[in-house]
Chains A and B, each alone.
Chain A
Amino acid sequence: MGATNKIIIEPVTRVEGHGKVSILLDENGQVTRARLHIVEFRGFERFIQGRPYWEVPVTVQRLCGICPVSHHLAAAKAMDVIVGADKLTPTAEKMRRLMHYGQTYQSHALHFFHLVSPDVLFGFDADPAIRNIIGVIKKFPELAVQGVMMRKFGQEIIKVTAGKKIHGTGAIPGGINKNLSIAERDSLLKDIDQQIEWSRGALEIAKNYTVENLGELADFGSFDSNHLSLIREDGAMDLYDGGIRMIDSEGNKVIDHFNYQNYSDIIAEEVKDWSYMKFPFIKDQGTDNGWYRVGPLARMNTADFIDTPEAELARQEFKAVTGGKPNNITMAYHWARMIEVLHSAEKIKELLLDEDLQGEDLVVKGERRSEGVGLIEAPRGTLFHHYKVNEDDQVTMCNLIVSTTSNNVPMNLAVEGVAKKYLSGTEITEGLLNRVEVAIRAYDPCLSCATHALGKMPLTVSVVDHNGQIVDKKST
């Protein structure tokens, strides 16, 4: 076997946290493999052991300061199972849904306006001095303001449903601890039509960009894949609940309406010596074929329809581009994400007008169980929380599969595709650097280690020899 040279790009900017990309070259300077290394802090699953189950929906938010609401809700759903709450009250479920749509709305909007828009508005090859958020602020200030205000609106929803920004306590095992007051409802309702209007505009930008550049984007870090998400019983896209559906790259249903309480019967996680992250796959299909994509692109592909009118029309346009077949274009994540922004805004309005949110019946309980699984469609994709609880109410086991983990293989493939196409020689050009980041950014990965204190930029570099042994390891 010939010698392999390694080119390392670090850190990956404009994604959450920090990662490291390795591009492996053979003796002839050809790319053989590219790898995205993500630092994942796995200690949380041990940290949570021994804690009382009712604390978990609050405690689990400490896992990540970037998407605490997703963890809060997934953990609460798992604890619903523990307390035997098989069906929540309408007020509880709708309050949780409102929280979740608020989070999805702000997360997607911010990602698009403040992170993706420089590439979309200026192009990959634009001067890097312009192709950034500063350039957007200068040239398109109204879009930058919209991004701020959409984010703020979503955060206000989270605040009135979760109670507070840090360690929100809204969702509790079996329900919710508050309803939505009339004053809270009205303060959100006054802005919702403006938010919907901005969502339409964002969707239009993302759609036009994708359609106008379809030729280039179809060949940019794209590949056939399985797609996995939750799906409602009637086939509608549902970000909060449902059964597991996985389709293949042709649209064939491989798994459908699978009860996620039994997820471990169909999904396993592979460990690779070069990555801290695990690689989930469908057991029946093995590690080579059983990997899948999650997130907005996957959800557009798995859903039979969307149950809000404007987002459904947008989904139909999206599907038409690929003749009704699954869309496997990595960069189409952005268009799909903006369809979900509009869907979330429509859902928020629908919920705000629902009197159930002012209901007083907040919590149910049933027969106590010792094991529970909670899944949710987080902004970045399907999030799994699995717990076992003993007779003393203490958590004895916790397993999490976060969406960035599910997208691990796809992100590596996207980076590899870009590297093979755009690397010439051994020099990392600005164009290559940005294209690698653009490919990763499409997945909106969360690479955060959460600790962010002043003067600290967490990044760990490991050198692994051909036997898989770590021969050096340094942290910044």
Chain B
Amino acid sequence: MAETLKKVLIIGYGNPGRLDDGLGPMFAEEMGKLQLEGVTVDSNYQLAVEDSAAIAEHDFVVFVDADVSGPEPFHFQRVVPKHHMSFSSHSISADALMAMAEDLLSSTADAYMLGIRGYEFNEFGEGISSHAEKNLHAALAFLKQALVDRNFAKYVNR
């Protein structure tokens, strides 16, 4: 009997009205077009506590966000669940969200952060910079490949 395909949740987040901050939602939009089996794609302006409910229904979570100062073109890291002493109510960090999913909803999902390097953030504006667009394409190619075997751990620190 064939092994059941692991279920993956991809959450791209950021504000598309703030230039490169829109990298996450843009990534989600492109991934959504592929309609890959066992892959759920979601996007929002920021992470929120209710995302913990969806996380609890998946085996893996890949958060996709714009990165202000990380390595180019992207980095891929494990997200370790961790409660924070404080966070704002309507948004939450990925590690705190994973801790909430684990503690409240018994989630066993493994989580990863795909941070795509961006450059322009602090103005209103549509579209991403040309450098960010190159990084976006590199990140898309990377995750498409990683989704083939879904052994995300081996890609950490890419």
Contact = CB atoms under 8 A, between A and B. Distances in A.
Interface of A: 13-17, 41, 43-44, 47, 59, 61-63, 65-68, 106-107, 110-111, 114-115, 128-129, 132-134, 137-138, 141, 144-145, 147-149, 151-152, 155, 165-167, 448, 450-456
B118 A47 contact: no
Contacts of A16: 88-91
Contacts of A44: 124
Given A62-B16, A66-B91, A166-B45, A451 B121 contact: yes
Interface string B43-79: 1111011101100000000000111111000000000
B46 A455 contact: no
Of A128, A450, A451, most buried by chain B (CB within 10 Å of CB) is A451
Given A110-B90, A114-B49, A155-B50, A47 B124 contact: yes
Interface string B74-116: 0000000001011111110000000010011100000001010
Contacts of A453: 14, 20-21, 65-68, 118, 121
7 contacts: A16-B89, A47-B125, A68-B45, A137-B83, A165-B45, A166-B44, A451-B15
A300 B3 CA distance: 58
Contacts of A133: 83, 87
Contacts of A114: 49, 89
A63 B118 CA distance: 20
A151 B15 contact: no
B17 A63 contact: yes
B100 A137 contact: yes
Given A63-B17, A453-B68, A14 B103 contact: no
B120 to A, nearest CB: 10
B90 A62 contact: no
Contacts of A115: 88-89
Given A47-B124, A110-B49, A165-B43, A452 B91 contact: yes
B53 A152 contact: yes
B37 interface: no
A155 B103 CA distance: 22
A129 B83 CA distance: 12
Contacts of A166: 16, 25, 43-45
Given A47-B125, A110-B90, A450-B15, A456 B68 contact: yes
Contact of A66 (B53, B90, B118, B125): B90
Given A13-B88, A66-B91, A137-B83, 6 more contacts: A66-B90, A134-B85, A137-B103, A166-B16, A452-B91, A453-B68
A91 B121 CA distance: 39
A119 to B, nearest CB: 12
Contact of A152 (B50, B70, B103, B118): B50
Given A47-B125, A137-B100, A152-B53, A110 B65 contact: no
Nearest to A61: B17
A399 to B, nearest CB: 16
B157 interface: no
Of B42, B50, B113, most buried by chain A (CB within 10 Å of CB) is B50
Contact of A14 (B87, B113, B121, B124): B87
Contacts of A141: 103-104
B103 to A, nearest CB: 5
B53 A14 contact: no
B149 interface: no
Nearest to A437: B86
A13 B91 CA distance: 12
A448 B70 CA distance: 23
A452 B21 contact: yes
A148 B49 contact: yes
A450 B16 CA distance: 10
A412 to B, nearest CB: 20
A452 B17 CA distance: 12
Of A114, A132, A167, most buried by chain B (CB within 10 Å of CB) is A114
Nearest to B63: A454
B122 interface: yes
Given A16-B90, A145-B105, A166-B16, A65 B85 contact: no
Nearest to B47: A452
Q: Report, nearest first, the 4 A-B pairs whose CB atoms are least far apart.
A: A62-B17, A65-B45, A152-B50, A13-B86
A65 B115 contact: no
Contacts of A13: 85-88
Contacts of A149: 50, 53
A455 B115 CA distance: 10
Nearest to B19: A451
A451 B90 contact: no
B89 A14 contact: yes
Nearest to B45: A65
Contacts of B103: 137-138, 141
Contacts of A106: 50
B99 to A, nearest CB: 8
A63 B67 CA distance: 20
A132 B86 contact: yes
A370 B20 CA distance: 34
